Amino acid sequence: MKQDLLKRENQNEDDNLQEPDVQKELQQIRIGILGFGTVGTGVYRIINQHQDDLQSQTGSQISIDKILVNSLDKLRSVDINPDLLTTDPNDVLQDPDIDIVVEVMGGVTEAREYIAQALKLKKHVVTANKDLIASYGGELLSLANENGCDLFYEASVAGGIPILRGLGEGFSSDRITKMLGILNGTTNYMLSKMAQEGMDYDTCLKQAQDLGYAEADPTSDVEGLDAARKIAILGTLGYHTEISLDEVDVLGISSIDQKDVQYGKEFGYELKLLGIADRQEDEIELSVQPTFIKKSHPLAHVDGVYNAVYVHGESVGETMFYGPGAGEMPTATAITSDLVTVVKNIKLGVNGRGKVAPYNIKKMKPKERRYQRYFVRLIVQDESGVMATIAESLSKYDMSISNMVQKPLEDQQAEIVIITHKASLSALESWKGSINSLNPTMKLASYYPVEGGE
């Protein structure tokens, strides 16, 4: 009798163990994708290939219901049911069954309009669009908040590297002081080639284009605009203040001379296109520019198309995030991770509540207080007294020489390459302006900031 009771009890326990029926509880989450190019195809692949993992993590079945494209006739690199494709954005935006819109079509005007529409219709949004977020991120995040929706954009900075989540969550208790980023794979590939193989700028660009790393019109990459958008996004998140693109000083790599890359190496530096965000005593400075960085710094060893972001926090000290900055699957991984977060938030009923609005008053640092060491290359007449003239001219503007080499040129000329001690940006600019009046035969060939050391 006792055994029967025990049996029945165990049976009940077994029944309880089988409950709840996991299948019955699975919630269907429907996604619409705007764009089916490199990134959109990657998202499609991951959602289909990793469906079991995604279900286990979210308790939901994630399906792709519609995909907006430009052309229905285009050959696609994955097998796809043609009924999923549409050229009418309303098939995604106005479909009441679609819960989340993934924007991977690029561009600003239409993407902004479609995302705004989706948010107003209470659809959550995940985007990879740095151009859009750098210019209209604040506006769209407010709209998301008003509508109780999530808007995530992890893929917009450094592709597969989870840097935004790292800043927003991992370092939420810390105070970020400095961020240095190699944020553009194309230019990093070109500079690596210039440094390692002695190639000139034009040959590197051609090679990057042949390999598909650089666009036919490479302006956005080589003139530093792409990296500027990313450092503006990082600055906004890291310093909790709204940074606009025009607050980033931008200089690209198109006028870099191969000579400078090699001279820098002689001094123990690598030339990298760095996005720099620096905060001291609540004053912020942001820039993107070719910068010499000490070979001992971990960023100096980030080569090829890879990206990396070095973050210094008051409490954590030095950290570095490294990985692929673009590409179909890395970028799609970041997007799908955002999707997982949205779905988890849906389950918890907390969408649109995670956003921390920028709460710091923005103070940009004036040029007089922006201190940096500089690499300077001058072309001079090789005659006695010229070194003294240079040193004197620098000291007039509170600048001084830390390191210097002289390289002979033809026609009685010489190149003087100097690494200065720290000087303010305003001092450097005034000194530059005075060179010609000081000695009309002296020419400033190039100058770059130097990061690290001192």
Ligand X SMILES: NC(=O)c1ccc[n+]([C@@H]2O[C@H](COP(=O)([O-])OP(=O)(O)OC[C@H]3O[C@@H](n4cnc5c(N)ncnc54)[C@H](OP(=O)(O)O)[C@@H]3O)[C@@H](O)[C@H]2O)c1
Q: Applying CB under 6 A, does 36 fall inside the site for ligand X?
A: yes
Distance in Å, CB of 204 to ligand X, minimum: 20
Cα distance between residue 298 and residue 320, in whole Å: 8
Distance in Å, CB of 211 to ligand X, minimum: 14
Distance in Å, CB of 32 to ligand X, minimum: 12
Contact 204, 254 (CB under 8 A): no
Cα distance between residue 320 and residue 398, in whole Å: 34
Q: Applying CB under 6 A, does 307 fall inside the site for ligand X?
A: no
List all residues 6 or more positions away from 377 whose beta carbon is below 8 Å from its beta carbon: 259, 260, 263, 415, 416, 417, 418, 444, 445, 446, 447
**Residues present in the chain in total:** 454
Distance in Å, CB of 107 to ligand X, minimum: 6
Pairing of strands 124-127, 151-152: parallel
Nearer Cβ to ligand X (44/397): 44
Distance in Å, CB of 301 to ligand X, minimum: 23
Q: Applying CB under 6 A, does 40 fall inside the site for ligand X?
A: yes
- Side-chain-side CA neighbours of 184 within 13 Å: the count stands at 32
Distance in Å, CB of 80 to ligand X, minimum: 11
Pairing of strands 60-68, 85-86: parallel
Nearer Cβ to ligand X (104/194): 104
Q: Applying CB under 6 A, does 155 fall inside the site for ligand X?
A: yes
Distance in Å, CB of 155 to ligand X, minimum: 5
Q: Applying CB under 6 A, does 164 fall inside the site for ligand X?
A: no
Name which position in 18, 23, 71, 384 contacts ligand X (CB under 6 A). Answer: 71
* Rg of the chain (C-alpha set): 27
Residue whose Cβ sits closest to ligand X: 37
Nearest to 314 by CA among 389, 258, 238: 238
Site for ligand X in 95-154 (CB under 6 A): 104-107, 110, 128-130
Nearer Cβ to ligand X (141/183): 183
# chain residues binding ligand X, by CB under 6 A: 24
Name which position in 187, 331, 345, 372 contacts ligand X (CB under 6 A). Answer: 331
Q: What are the tokens at 133?
A: 């977020």
Q: Applying CB under 6 A, does 323 fall inside the site for ligand X?
A: no
Identify each DSSP E strand in 295-412 by its residue range.
306-313, 317-324, 371-381, 401-408
Name which position in 29, 39, 228, 346 contacts ligand X (CB under 6 A). Answer: 39
DSSP labels, 108-135? SHHHHHHHHHHHHTT-EEEE--HHHHHH
Nearer Cβ to ligand X (68/180): 68
The neighbouring-strand residues paired with 86 are: 68
Nearer Cβ to ligand X (134/450): 134
Nearest to 448 by CA among 228, 284, 288: 288
Nearer Cβ to ligand X (331/424): 331
Distance in Å, CB of 109 to ligand X, minimum: 9
Nearest to 40 by CA among 86, 99, 97, 108: 86
* Given the residues 123, 230, 272, 365, the one annotated as active site: 230
Name which position in 170, 268, 327, 358 contacts ligand X (CB under 6 A). Answer: 327
Q: Applying CB under 6 A, does 69 fall inside the site for ligand X?
A: yes
Pairing of strands 269-280, 283-294: antiparallel
Tell me which stretch binds ligand X (CB under 6 A): 17-25, 30-38, 243-251, 412-420. Answer: 30-38
Nearer Cβ to ligand X (36/239): 36
Nearer Cβ to ligand X (106/449): 106
Looking up tokens 């988890």, which residue turns up? 344
Task: Give the CA diameter of the chain.
Answer: 114
Distance in Å, CB of 95 to ligand X, minimum: 16
Name which position in 46, 47, 54, 68 contacts ligand X (CB under 6 A). Answer: 68
Q: Applying CB under 6 A, does 309 fall inside the site for ligand X?
A: no
Is 66 noted as a catalytic residue in this protein? Answer: no
Nearer Cβ to ligand X (118/195): 118
Site for ligand X in 197-256 (CB under 6 A): none
Q: Applying CB under 6 A, does 38 fall inside the site for ligand X?
A: yes
Contact 71, 131 (CB under 8 A): no
Name which position in 32, 137, 159, 252 contacts ligand X (CB under 6 A). Answer: 159
Q: Applying CB under 6 A, does 335 fall inside the site for ligand X?
A: no
- Cis status, amide bond into 20, omega within 30 of 0: yes
Nearest to 351 by CA among 125, 62, 172, 129: 125
Q: Sign (positive/negative) of CA torsion 255, 256, 258, 263?
A: positive
Query: Residues 411-431, buried b or exposed e (16+ Cβ, 10 A)?
Result: eeebbbbbbbbbbbbebbeeb
Q: What are the tokens at 324?
A: 């692929």
Active site residues: 230
Residues that bind ligand X (CB under 6 A): 35-40, 68-71, 74, 104-107, 110, 128-130, 155, 159, 326-327, 331
